[in-house]
Structure 1
Amino acid sequence: MTTQHVTARTISPAGLLSPQENAPLPTEDRLAIHELIARHCLALDTGDEAHLASIVTEDFRQEHAVFGAMEGRSGFAALMRDNPELLGAIRHQAVNIAAVGTGTETAKAVHYTIVMQVHAMGAEPTALLPRLFAHGVVRDQLVKQDGRWLIHRRTYDQMSLTADLFPEDQRKEALRRRTPDWET
């Protein structure tokens, strides 16, 4: 198995590592944001479209280094619906979650996504399982609506992909996508 790796350091959102530069974020809100991100992973892995739609704003927008841009609740759920053979064989993990307030009802968060292949993507396994499938950086802009935190904007970038599952041009483009402007 060959894996393409990003050699540069992770690009960190401005001020995220210095929470004193941001609005205070109460412990209750930090926990709710961590839970939201974890539930997103579980919803992807269990195929729960209704839950995926419920954790994003109506005007949600996502930029994904591999799957491109998508908008709205239905666009978010479509990623899972349109890739059942891929998503049924993998498990998502969100690690190193850090969140800070950007206002009284807004926050930003960043985490690493680790995607493991745990089942064969066909009749016979083509590699020893489980194995690392992909790794990347996810950054979110969040808003609190009706007492609940929702994902408003999400960007996946700095992706590293397993070479035998993605064409070389797709891997190179995913590695190239780095958006240092964390405010957009």
Structure 2
Amino acid sequence: MNVQKDIEFIILLEEMKKIQRQTKVLGCNRRENDAEHSWHVATMSMFLQNYSKFETDINKVIKMLLIHDLVEIFAGDTFAYDTSGYEDKIYRETQAMNKLKSFLPQNMAELLESLWLEFENGETNESKYANAMDRLQPMLSNLFSNDGGTWTEHKIKVSQVLKRMEPIKDFSEEIYNFIYENIQDNVKKGYLIAD
């Protein structure tokens, strides 16, 4: 154990508060940061677990959601609908993970990387649930505030949103259907482009 090194990592986590995402905070005209997003999705996962089609270890889901965007400290945020940003996202985030691990003792570095890779691969029940929460949170902001939010700002089409919703459908039909109905309302309001 090395207290100095561990505290340096804790201080590094402050950078999450500086990483601006595209999503706007509900009812505000400011963009949320990565720390707010990570807290929000982790909290959502606690309260929406009863809707899940499958059993999960909720503690693992929460840990996964709290760390899933730490790589953005070095890699930056990639907007959900930015296809060109996704071209090198895996490379940037893998490099960032290696840099993050250098701040941690081996056992914690392995835990961080293991949780992050599990989230990214999306194959376990926990990672499927975590990915559904990660997709759902910004969608709720666009649906219920800010006149369509980033959908309006970036001229997003319904087909793009439906593709992003796939992990939500895998997680819960009830939540998917609720979101789907509200998407149709947003099309009528002109916040989403019908295609």
Using the size of structure 2 for normalisation, the TM-score is 0.28
Question: Higher strand fraction: Structure 1 or Structure 2?
Answer: 1
